[in-house]
């Protein structure tokens, strides 16, 4: 019986194994983080609304924290959205209704729209409450809106009190949601 | 005489100023569709799913292409227009993710995976050329002696009988 040369199987250096494991772990962590982010649902009623900010078409910068103690009516719309037109005048009427009380703030955010068209839309429907573009779609992403129009009503303590998917049918419908919040 | 010179000088200054104003107001030629589409190709429709802006057929996309044309007329560069779109509609409008933050993973990961694949392939190929491993011992047992073979055959025959 003859024996051939015996060789030890080559092994990867320790640093290579550690590095590979680290890359794998980092990759898995990244996937996990992405999954967690995508799986986390929208802000639900009763939940505290994280702080958000917007810049109006007039260049005024507004923060949600500036309105603590007031009811915030946050409406997402777009000039290309036909259903948004159904509630545009109603929202303005509701704004006028509460304007002098100083207890309700109306904010409009134009979702993926051009500035020119947005301004034309505001002019067409005579909307006077603060409106601006949802820059980088950051606020709509925060609320995880599914489309436009959508309206989020936040109570005086900063918690989400009501969500309206689609257009409001009438000014009265808006008032029926806001009044109980004011009487709390 | 001196006063005449002064008036001529003032006249020339006024002419020069007006010439500058006239030059500044020269209308910028309207950018062609090709120029607009060259930028639109690098952007995606902000409301449709995975549709490049240059081929998107919706009214909204048409307006965004017009917006690009408008921005070109205003003198914005390609990069500035892309930045404008990102500012208004987010990073998702870019065909190519910007090289910052977590987006680097998109650029780095394929290279890392490719390098790992190359290293693994090289190692596998090398191991295929290596001598037979220690556990396998070669022997001349396959070469059975003729006499031995005859002896075994005889034994088998006897057993059958």
Report the CATH number that the domain containing residue B84 is assigned in CATH.
Answer: 1.10.8.640
DSSP state of B84: H
Residue B130 lies in a domain: no
Residue B81 has pLDDT above 80, yes or no: yes
Q: Is the pLDDT of residue A6 over 90?
A: no
Q: How many CB atoms lie within 10 A of CB A147?
A: 14
| Structural domain count of chain B | 1
Structural domains of chain A in order of their starting residue, each with its CATH number: 53-182 (3.40.30.10)
Helical segments of chain B, H only: 2-24, 33-40, 59-73, 78-89, 104-129, 146-160
Q: What confidence tens digit (pLDDT) does each residue in A58-101 have?
A: 999 999 999 999 999 999 999 999 999 999 999 999 999 999 99
Q: Which residue of A has its CA nearest to B142?
A: A1
User: Is B133 within the bounds of a domain?
Assistant: no
A79-88, B21-30, B90-99 — which is least confidently predicted? B21-30
Is B52 in contact with B44 (CB distance < 8 Å)?
A: yes
Strands A104-110 and A71-77: parallel
Q: What is the mean pLDDT of residues B22-47?
A: 83
Q: How many angstroms separate the CA of residue B74 from the nearest CA in chain A? A: 14
SS3 B67: helix
Whether the pLDDT of residue B22 is over 50: the answer is no
Residue B61 lies in a domain: yes
**Model ipTM?**
0.70
How far apart are the CA of A162 and the nearest CA of chain B, in angstroms? Answer: 25
CA B91 distance to own-chain centroid? 15
The conformational region for residue B153 under phi > 0 = left, psi -120 to 50 = alpha, else beta, is alpha
Instruction: Tell me the residue ranges of DSSP E strands in A16-65.
Output: 53-55, 61-63
> Where does the pLDDT of residue A23 fall: very low under 50, low under 70, confident under 90, or very high at 90 and above?
confident
pLDDT per residue over A93-120, tens digit each? 999 999 999 999 999 999 999 999 999 9
How many other CB atoms sit within 10 Å of the CB of residue B146?
8
CB contact under 8 A, A114 and B64: yes
Tell me whether residue B64 is in a domain: yes
Count of residues making up chain A: 184
Model confidence at A44: pLDDT above 90: yes
Residue B1 has pLDDT above 80, yes or no: no
pTM score, whole prediction? 0.69
Domain that holds residue B93: 31-112
Check pLDDT > 70 for residue B27.
no
* Mean pLDDT of the region A21-47: 85
pLDDT given for residue A98 in this prediction: 98
CB within 8 Å: B133 and A114: no
Confidence of residue B105 (pLDDT cuts 50, 70, 90): confident
């Amino acid at each position: 019986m003859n024996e051939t040369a015996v060789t030890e199987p080559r092994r990867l250096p320790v640093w290579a194994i550690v590095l590979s494991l680290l890359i794998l772990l980092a990759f898995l962590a990244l996937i996990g983080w992405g999954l967690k982010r995508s799986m986390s649902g929208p802000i639900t009623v009763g939940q505290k609304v994280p702080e958000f900010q917007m810049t109006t078409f007039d260049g005024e910068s507004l923060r949600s924290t500036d309105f603590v103690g007031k009811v915030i009516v946050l409406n997402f719309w777009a000039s290309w959205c036909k259903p948004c037109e159904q509630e545009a005048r109603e929202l303005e009427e509701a704004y006028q209704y509460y304007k002098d009380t100083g207890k309700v703030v109306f904010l409009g955010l134009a979702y993926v729209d051009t500035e020119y068209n947005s301004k034309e839309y505001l002019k067409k429907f005579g909307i006077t409450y603060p409106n601006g573009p949802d820059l980088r779609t950051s606020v709509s992403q925060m609320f995880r809106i599914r489309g436009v129009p959508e309206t989020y009503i936040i109570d005086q303590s900063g918690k989400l009190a009501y969500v309206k998917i689609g257009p409001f049918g009438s000014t009265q419908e808006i008032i029926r949601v806001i009044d109980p919040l004011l009487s709390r | 005489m001196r006063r005449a010179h002064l008036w001529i000088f003032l006249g020339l200054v006024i002419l020069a100023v007006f010439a500058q104003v006239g030059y500044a107001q020269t209308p910028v030629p309207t950018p062609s569709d090709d120029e607009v589409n060259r930028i639109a190709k690098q952007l995606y429709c902000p409301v449709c799913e995975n549709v490049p802006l240059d081929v998107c057929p919706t009214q909204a996309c048409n307006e965004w292409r017009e917006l690009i044309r408008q921005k070109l007329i205003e003198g914005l560069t390609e990069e500035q227009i892309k930045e404008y779109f990102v500012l208004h509609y987010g990073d998702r409008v870019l065909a190519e993710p910007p090289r910052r933050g977590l987006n680097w993973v998109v650029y780095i990961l394929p290279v890392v995976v490719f390098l790992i694949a190359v290293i693994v392939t090289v190692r596998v190929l090398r191991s295929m050329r290596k001598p037979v491993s220690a556990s396998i011992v070669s022997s001349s047992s396959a070469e059975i002696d003729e006499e031995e073979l005859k002896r075994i055959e005889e034994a088998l025959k006897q057993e059958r009988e």
